[in-house]
């Protein structure tokens, strides 16, 4: 099958890759670019751990055709950490024990970032809504919700 | 349509570890020339914090700062043998093995320090900050790093220790049927409050209150995170999850997370937890460990709460809306029990 040339912004760099038709963005990121931070969970859009931001909006990379991000900006978890400094959300996750096995964490962090980028002081209900597409098997969600509220710097409740 | 509230309680007595041909775990501890220590294990941390806990146990036993200990869980090809991370055995079995290994390594470390300071090893103590000094004379001191270097490059000693913890197989007495499958038990009690919709059969968690007795909590925050999260694994087993909803008939098995249902962030309810610490005589620093017990009392408590709410006794998990509705129908309607 003929490959398609694809250029887009990946975190802070411009990338150019060749993809087969039908390649999804998750595979393109992990296997062609080597960014392993978005995880493969169910591959069906049911678990949320592959979540990335496309032009600032939350998307499931496993259900996104790679070709549709041509010329757009894709942010993954890899963009959060600035050198040795954790992003405030990452720090809050660590301080609130919001990860155990950690498999959902990349998706949770991206969903949280998408929320805080558009709503810097969300209510508890808004946090719950924002991560409702993400499944966590270990934490019982409570520590994750608390971490996002702590990172928002505004603990207003619903 | 009516929503009925109900409350259920369950208490459990939970054995730590298992009894299939004996239950051993091994650990190796050695110092590096930097004066830091490595704990080699083949036990796996699933995210509940065994690496942190064994690191604390090793540092405390050696008498060095926790920062000076690195836990390498390697793999089962290269690490000393472990039965595995299950049956809530990690803290108790692996912790004890690490403690034994660290104790042996500490003995060599103190001997090496004694040789450098030209004193008797029995007169030395660690300060927990990376130094070894003569009791009552803190100025007669040597750092663990200098001891490690002296042992390696001057004395030709390995500051290392081996540890194993074994709970031997307990056979069943053919006369009485008696056995001792575990050496220590943890305990828990949980009250679940639910709301049952008698038209849809849906069960909503309203709140949980629990008390867990798990020996000494070596790392209280890790204990808390396990109890908070584990309770929702229990709820999930009680109400949602199953690979075979019509077991033993394999039909209608779930194919994705829409059909294999799990609680989402919108389903969680308040959960008040009390941790009671009654140190276990044979636990590392008295620890038993939370483990699977986090989830166990939730299932019977939820089943009891559903009975309390609508008067139907369902003993087949998970308690899906379908089962609740069929049971209510069989009873000729919801029969709320006395509020408890």
Q: Would you report the helix, strand and coil content of chain A in percent, each value rounded to 5?
A: 35, 20, 45
In 3-state terms, what secondary structure has residue B129? coil
User: And the tokens for B8?
Assistant: 């259920």
Q: What is residue A82's predicted lDDT score, i.e. its pLDDT? A: 84
% of chain B residues with pLDDT over 70: 100
For residue B42, give how far its alpha carbon lies from the nearest alpha carbon of chain A (Å). 17
Task: Quick: pLDDT tens for B253-273.
Answer: 999 998 999 999 999 999 999
Contacts of B225 in chain A (CB under 8 A): 97, 100, 139, 143
Interface test with A, best of B229, B258, B271, B298 (most A CBs within 10 A): B229
Report residue A131 CA to chain centroid gap. Answer: 11
For residues A74-84, give the mean pLDDT: 92
Q: Which residues pair with A53 in a beta bridge?
A: A58, A75
Report residue B156 CA to chain centroid gap. Answer: 39
Q: Which residues pair with B26 in a beta bridge?
A: B164
Question: Is A95 an interface residue toward B (CB < 8 Å)?
Answer: no
Indicate yes or no: pTM above 0.90: yes
- Choose among A42, A97, A132: nearest Cβ to B264: A132
Q: How confident is the model at residue B218 (pLDDT cuts 50, 70, 90)?
A: very high
Phi/psi for B320 (5° steps) reads -80, 160
Task: Quick: pLDDT tens for B125-156.
Answer: 999 999 999 999 999 999 999 999 999 999 99
For residues A10-34, give the mean pLDDT: 96
The two counts, helices (H) then strands (E), for chain B are 6, 11
**Contact criterion met (CB < 8 Å) for A142 and B271:** yes
Q: Is the pLDDT of residue A44 over 80?
A: yes
Q: What is residue B340's predicted lDDT score, i.e. its pLDDT? A: 74
User: And the tokens for B44?
Assistant: 């796996």
Task: Quick: pLDDT tens for B44-101.
Answer: 998 889 999 999 999 999 999 999 999 999 788 889 999 999 999 999 999 999 999 9
Q: How confident is the model at residue A156 (pLDDT cuts 50, 70, 90)?
A: very low
For residue B234, give how far its alpha carbon lies from the nearest alpha carbon of chain A (Å). 10
Interface predicted TM-score of the whole assembly (ipTM), two decimals: 0.91
Report residue B222 CA to chain centroid gap. Answer: 9
For residue B45, give how far its alpha carbon lies from the nearest alpha carbon of chain A (Å). 8
**Contact criterion met (CB < 8 Å) for B265 and A128:** yes
Q: What is residue A3's predicted lDDT score, i.e. its pLDDT? A: 92
Question: Is A128 an interface residue toward B (CB < 8 Å)?
Answer: yes
Q: What is residue B181's predicted lDDT score, i.e. its pLDDT? A: 84
Query: Which of A158, A153, A92, A150 has its CA nearest to residue A123?
Result: A158
Alpha-carbon distance values, A149 to A38, A85, A146 (Å): 23, 20, 5
- Choose among A44, A99, A128: nearest Cβ to B266: A128
Question: Contact B231/B210 with Cβ under 8 angstroms?
Answer: yes
Q: Which residues contact A113 (CB under 8 A, 6 or more apart)?
A: A53, A75, A80, A87, A89
Average pLDDT of chain B, as a whole number? 95
> Which residue's structure tokens are 């991206």?
A110
Q: What is residue A154's predicted lDDT score, i.e. its pLDDT? A: 45
Question: Contact B195/B258 with Cβ under 8 angstroms?
Answer: no
Q: What is the DSSP letter of A47?
A: S
- Choose among B46, B49, B268: nearest Cβ to A142: B268
**Contact criterion met (CB < 8 Å) for A46 and B258:** yes
Weakest-pLDDT range from B13-22, B92-101, B192-201, B216-225: B13-22
**Hey, what domains does chain A have and what are their CATH numbers?**
4-77 (3.10.20.30), 88-157 (1.10.150.120)
Q: How confident is the model at residue A1 (pLDDT cuts 50, 70, 90)?
A: low
In 3-state terms, what secondary structure has residue B80? coil
Contacts of A44 in chain B (CB under 8 A): 256-257
Q: Is the pLDDT of residue B320 over 90?
A: yes
């Amino acid at each position: 099958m003929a490959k398609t040339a694809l250029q887009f912004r990946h975190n802070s760099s411009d990338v150019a890759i060749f993809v087969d038709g039908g390649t999804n963005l998750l595979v393109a990121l992990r296997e062609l670019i080597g960014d392993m931070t978005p995880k493969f969970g169910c591959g069906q859009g049911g678990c949320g751990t592959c979540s990335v931001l496309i032009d600032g909006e939350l998307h499931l990379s496993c259900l996104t055709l790679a070709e549709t991000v041509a010329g757009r900006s894709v942010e993954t978890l890899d963009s959060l950490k600035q050198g040795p400094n954790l992003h405030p959300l990452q720090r809050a996750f660590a301080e609130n024990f919001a990860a155990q096995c950690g498999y959902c964490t990349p998706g949770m962090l991206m969903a949280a970032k998408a929320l805080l980028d558009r709503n810097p002081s969300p209510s508890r209900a808004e946090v719950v809504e924002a991560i409702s597409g993400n499944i966590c098997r270990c934490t019982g969600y409570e520590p994750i919700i608390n971490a996002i509220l702590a990172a928002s710097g505004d603990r207003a409740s619903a | 349509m009516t929503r009925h509230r109900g409350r259920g309680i369950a208490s459990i007595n939970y054995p730590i570890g298992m009894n299939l041909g004996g239950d051993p775990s091994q650990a190796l501890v050695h110092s590096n020339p930097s004066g830091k220590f490595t704990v080699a294990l083949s036990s796996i941390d699933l995210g509940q914090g065994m690496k942190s806990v064994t690191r604390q146990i090793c540092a405390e036993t050696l008498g060095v700062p926790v920062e000076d200990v690195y836990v390498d869980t390697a793999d089962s090809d290269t690490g000393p043998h472990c039965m595995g991370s299950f049956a809530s055995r990690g803290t108790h079995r692996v912790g004890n093995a690490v403690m034994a290994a660290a104790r042996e390594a500490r003995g060599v470390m103190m001997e090496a320090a004694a040789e450098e300071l030209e004193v008797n090893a029995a007169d030395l103590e660690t300060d927990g900050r990376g130094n070894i000094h003569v009791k009552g004379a803190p100025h007669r001191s040597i750092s663990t790093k200098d001891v490690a270097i002296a042992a390696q490059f001057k004395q030709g000693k390995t500051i290392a220790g081996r540890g194993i913890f074994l709970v031997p197989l307990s056979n069943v007495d053919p006369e009485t049927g008696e056995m001792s499958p575990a050496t220590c038990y943890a305990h828990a009690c949980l009250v679940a409050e639910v709301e049952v919709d008698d038209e849809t059969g849906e069960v909503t968690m309203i709140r949980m209150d629990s008390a867990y007795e798990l020996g000494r909590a070596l790392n209280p925050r890790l204990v808390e995170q396990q109890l908070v999260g584990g309770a929702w694994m229990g709820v999930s087993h009680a109400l949602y999850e199953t690979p075979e909803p019509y077991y033993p008939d394999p039909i209608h098995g779930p194919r994705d997370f829409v059909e294999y249902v799990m609680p989402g962030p919108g389903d969680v309810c308040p959960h008040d937890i009390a941790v009671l610490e009654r140190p276990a005589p044979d636990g590392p620093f008295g620890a038993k460990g939370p483990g699977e017990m986090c989830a166990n009392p939730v299932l019977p408590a939820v089943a009891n709460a559903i009975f309390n709410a609508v008067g139907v006794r369902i003993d087949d998990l998970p308690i899906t809306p379908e089962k609740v509705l069929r049971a209510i129908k069989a009873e000729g309607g919801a029969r709320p029990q006395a509020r408890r």
